[in-house]
Amino acid sequence: MLDYIKVSSQQHPTACVIWLHGLGADGYDFEPVVEMLNLPHIYFMLPHAPYKKITMNNGYEMRAWYDLFGLDKDSPQDAVGIKASQTEIKALIAHANTLGIPTNRIALAGFSQGGAIALHTALRHTQTLAGVLALSTYLPLKHTLPAQKSIENQSIPIFMAHGIADEVIRIDTALSSRQQLQDAGYAVEWHEYPMAHSVNANEIADIRQFLLKILP
């Protein structure tokens, strides 16, 4: 199982959020954001992705959920790496279950590459999850979703947020992903902010409200 940072201030939390960092970061990246959310009833798991050589970055090795060949809409995608990370996140969900937290009280969250894995995993998970937060990201392997999506999470609450000045993953890419999700019958709560590839205070406030709604 992946190593992770634990953020929990209650001995017996009643809910869990598994939060995935972006390319080249680690589990510590969103620890300050989690502290700002101030949701003591939620057990936050912030896992570290394994190190991988990234083709788009000339083979440089960094923490990553899958290999990247490009960020254009038509760039090839690392299906093997995405599926491997999906398996790792499923193991973390099972681990949360052993802590006494049922799957319907677990949400997946992620930023950028981590958000892509959160979306990919949640929509295919065969037990009902509480929700998914997809921050500054896109829907990977979109062509496989119709055949692989789970009935159990067809009605999952989806929070998507993006910066209008994002030059890493352009907002057009995110809007296209939102449309694909809506076309597949998913309800998406969409937010956009005047920022680049990052998070801001307004987004954090909106995330807090969403988490209180899905994990009261």
The 10s digit of each residue's pLDDT in 142-200 is 999 999 999 999 999 999 999 999 999 999 999 999 999 999 999 999 999 999 999 99
136 classed as catalytic:
no
pLDDT value of residue 173? 94
CATH superfamily of 4-214: Alpha/Beta hydrolase fold, catalytic domain (3.40.50.1820)
Provide φ and ψ at 175, rounded to 5°: -65, -35
Active-site residue among 21, 120, 125, 197?
197
Active-site residue among 85, 162, 166, 177?
166
Domain ranges within the chain, ordered by starting residue: 4-214
Is 28:195 a contact under the CB 8 Å cutoff?
no
Q: CA dist 108 to 19, 47, 60, 172, 190, Å?
A: 6, 12, 28, 23, 16
166 classed as catalytic:
yes
pLDDT value of residue 140? 96
Residue whose token pair is 């969103």 = 30
The overall average pLDDT reported for the chain is: 96
pLDDT value of residue 72? 76
Active-site residue among 112, 120, 162, 177?
112
Residue 44 has pLDDT above 90, yes or no: yes
